[in-house]
Structure 1
Amino acid sequence: APKYGRDDYDADALAQKVMKLWTDECWKYETASTGRRFRPGMLSWNYWIGSGYILKASANGRTEAQFLSNAICPSNGADINGPTSNSNSVGQALGGKSEDGGDFMDYVNYLPNGASHTISFNTSLLRDAAHKEKFKSFLKGYIENGGTALQINILDPEVLKEAQRNPQDYRHLLVRVTGYNAYFTSIGRELQDEIIARESHKGV
């Protein structure tokens, strides 16, 4: 089935439709204390973890009690076509390009309060000059595609597994969880496993 995060037109169009429906509804409401409008954003912190435990299975193939997707990221397991496909889907969900002009370089941004997008790359990506140049192009393209808050992990899943086995040797190891960094060995095992399970791209 088509999946958001794979640069699939049908899946991304549905994501954009749901995003617009939700953000249009958000703008209708104001706070009781200040009268200011709510500004929509996708900044999940750790809610995608706890909420996943209490929600039944969902139509995207997520099983009961599995983590939800992290903010605007694709669901775990959906990100299989590479980082460019991943970021193209995010750009569409944020609003995509508009013939009538947009908020930035003709792109619409439905989320003025930001959209946290965490993506992982393998350390091998930075070991040769050609991949470094491709990585620079990816970052430039991400912004030009309407992306707002890209958070990058550059890590080796095998190192993370070793840190689980011997945490005393890896107390210094920092990872990007979502909108914050944490020492890998200080977070719970389930969250460690979730970070390891994220697709770690070896190329762009």
Structure 2
Amino acid sequence: MGAQLNYLGKPYDPSMLAISTHTPFGKACGATPDGRCAGEPLADGVTSPSPGTDTSGPLAVLLSSAKVDHTRIRGGLHNMKFHPRSLRGVAGSKKLLSLVKSYFDLGGFQIQFNVVDGNMLRQAQEHPDAYRDIIVRVAGFSAFFVELGKPVQDQIIARTEHEL
């Protein structure tokens, strides 16, 4: 890739930046080997697993994610969702800190979290006026949950809700 020059005479700079294209691109994409059906959203981040496929816990997910070599390509984000009860208090904070430190010690590049109860997000879909203050990470940016389109809301709800 480095030998090819762009129209400015500079080397191409490949990127894996998803920034919420996973939902519309998924509509145009056939089924994938991980069990994702045709038309469903793609994984929401470059190293984020498709919803429901990360069945071995958060550490296993991050062990896989950290194997991606981000020195050759830009923009690899990783989204992870935790239920708030698993991060309560000093003990919960220490668990999360340990997980994040391990990820970066293994070569992880970037990670972002939603700490939210999926049931509360479903309630927000039904009663948006009562939940206007919920902010979520989408894919490289944050947004008020109730202002997102339903397909993106559904995808955020579908993300595996980890416990530590």
Give the alignment's TM-score, normalised by structure 1.
0.74
Counterpart CA distance in 2 for 1:121 and 1:185 is: 19
Report how far residue 130 of structure 1 moved.
2.3
Q: Look up the equivalent residue of 2:47 and give its one-letter code.
A: I
Q: State whether structure 2 residue 72 is matched by structure 1 residue 110.
A: yes
Provide closer, same or farther for how the CA distance between residues 28 and 118 of structure 1 changes in structure 2, counting only shifts above 3 A: farther
SS where residue 149 of structure 1 aligns?
coil
Report how far residue 129 of structure 1 moved.
2.6
Counterpart CA distance in 2 for 1:173 and 1:152 is: 14
Aligned to 1:134: 95
Report how far residue 109 of structure 1 moved.
3.2
Aligned to 1:88: 63
SS where residue 143 of structure 2 aligns?
strand
1:173 to 99, 123, 134: 134
CA-to-aligned-CA distance 1:110-149 (integer Å, 9 cap, x gap) = 33x2311111111112213323211111111111111111
Q: Look up the equivalent residue of 2:53 and give its one-letter code.
A: A
Counterpart CA distance in 2 for 1:140 and 1:27 is: 32
Q: State whether structure 2 residue 4 is matched by structure 1 residue 42.
A: no
Aligned to 1:104: none
Counterpart CA distance in 1 for 2:4 and 2:112 is: 30
Give ranges in structure 1 of 5+ residues lacking alignment: 1-25, 96-107
Give the alignment's TM-score, normalised by structure 2.
0.91
SS where residue 78 of structure 2 aligns?
strand
After TM superposition, the structure 1 stretch with the greater mean CA deviation from structure 2, 53-62 or 170-179, is 53-62
CA contact (8 A) 2:87 2:95 kept: no
Identity of aligned residues (%): 31
Q: CA RMSD in A?
A: 1.6
SS where residue 116 of structure 1 aligns?
coil
Q: State whether structure 2 residue 38 is matched by structure 1 residue 77.
A: no
Aligned to 1:157: 118
